Amino acid sequence: MIAGISIYEILTVTSILFFIGIYGFITRKNLISVLISIELILNASVVNFVVINKYLYPDMLQGVIFSIFIIAVAAAETALAVSIIINLYRQISSVEVKDTEIMKY
């Protein structure tokens, strides 16, 4: 636990981080920026897991282990997304969302 900090304050920070991520996800027009926003959202949820584990159930480890799994899945997802973006750039020379029509059908 952090001395003098209640769980409410940490959850407030992570909620703000989550919605900044959603804002970026909706307003950005570039595939890499969308990827960055997804990282923000995932990080907010990971911090939530860890904080709730630490403050409410300090004797258990489930939150920590789930956050390790989330980080692993995020790494796998980023690697795949980057490879898709590079392949897309080779085929249509653009990474804007509005030009990405190849995989629609």
Partner 1 sequence: MEKYIFYILSVIIIVFAVASVSSRKMLRSVIYLLFVLCGIAGIYFLIDYNFLAAIQLTVYAGGIIVLIIFSVLLVHHIEMELEIAKPFRKMMTGLICLLGLGVFLYTIYNNEFNVVENQVTTTTYDIGAKLLSYESGGFILPFEVISVLLLASMIGAIVIAKGRKLNDKNDEAL
Residues 38-57 interacting with partner 1 (rule: CB under 8 A): 39-40, 43, 46-47, 50-51, 54-57
User: Which stretch of DSSP H or E encloses residue 35?
Assistant: helix 31-56
CA distance 61 to 20: 29
23 binds partner 1 (CB under 8 A): yes
User: Which among 30, 31, 68 is positioned nearest to 46, based on CA atoms?
Assistant: 68
Total residues binding partner 1 (CB under 8 A) = 73
What is the smallest separation between the CB atom of 40 and partner 1, expressed in angstroms?
6
- Identity of the residue, 77 or 104, whose beta carbon is nearer to partner 1 in the bound complex: 77
Residue 31 CA: distances (Å) to CA of 14, 23, 36, 50, 76: 24, 14, 9, 29, 17
Among 45, 71, 103, 105, binds partner 1 (CB under 8 A): 71
